Amino acid sequence: MKGTEGTRQIDRYIALDIHKEYVLAGGQNAKQEWVLPPHRISMAKIREWASANLHAGDAVVIETTTNVWDIYDIVAPLATRTVVAHAGAVRQIAEARVKTDKEDVKRLIRLLIADIVPEVWVPPAEVRELRGMISYRNRLVKMGTTPALAVRCKCGAQSPAKSASSSQHSPAEREIGGCSLVAGTAGEYVGEAANPAGTDDAG
């Protein structure tokens, strides 16, 4: 099997069908006999389940979805092989006549046993983090000039003059817990740290 680490034999072929609230997991051996009957695992318990049930000798396939990388990072260190399948390509190769969670799991397992899973590249964690930051920035830019609040948190104690004038802020600027909420545009971010009290340079 391509991508198998070392010469470790694969004993179980496991598919994880990810949904918003749960993951449906199921596993078969090379003879396509169920060794892990399909069952639901809540998202809150997926890490605990993986630690207790996955081990060396397992090959795991996960279909691409919104939170696929969170599940991948939990599973990959435990199994001998973990692959991420391209959801669209999987449907083209093996579209199921009956659309159920169990059939989806069975379809993924068969592709995994046959070693024909249409894999996607798994980017390193730092690349995924960078992509997330870029995606977030793009969403802010698309908001354009939609009014939003840019938060300017000023660390440290405020000066007496500042405290005395805090009640004189215009409607566009209000003080909440030592932070100034300043009306701005989406995409603007203002971060401004003041010098802590008593740390001003002396001549």
Burial of 166 (0-12, 13-18, 19+ CB in 10 A): middle
Query: For 12-122, which CATH class?
Result: alpha beta
* Domain layout of the chain by residue ranges: 12-122, 144-185
Q: Which of 16-25, 58-67, 113-122, 181-190 has the lowest mean pLDDT?
A: 181-190
Q: Are 173 and 181 in contact (CB under 8 A)?
A: yes
- Mean residue pLDDT of the chain comes to 76
Confidence of residue 51 (pLDDT cuts 50, 70, 90): very high
Q: Where do runs of H (alpha helix) occur along 54-196?
A: 68-75, 87-93, 101-114, 125-142, 160-165
Instruction: Please provide the distance, in angstroms rounded to a whole number, between the alpha carbons at the two ends of the chain.
Output: 72
Residue 169 clears pLDDT 80, i.e. is over it: no
Give the per-residue pLDDT at 98.
55
CA torsion, points 33, 36, 40, 44, in degrees to nearest 10?
Answer: -150
* 3-class secondary-structure state, position 160: helix
% of the chain exceeding 70 in pLDDT: 64
Residue 193 clears pLDDT 80, i.e. is over it: no
Give the per-residue pLDDT at 115.
94
Instruction: Report how far residue 120's alpha carbon sits from residue 187's, in angstroms, rounded to the nearest whole number.
Output: 32
Q: Which of 11-15, 45-49, 108-112, 156-160 has the lowest mean pLDDT?
A: 156-160
Q: What is the mean pLDDT of residues 69-85?
A: 95
Q: Are 20 and 42 in contact (CB under 8 A)?
A: no
Q: Are 103 and 96 in contact (CB under 8 A)?
A: yes
Confidence of residue 173 (pLDDT cuts 50, 70, 90): very low
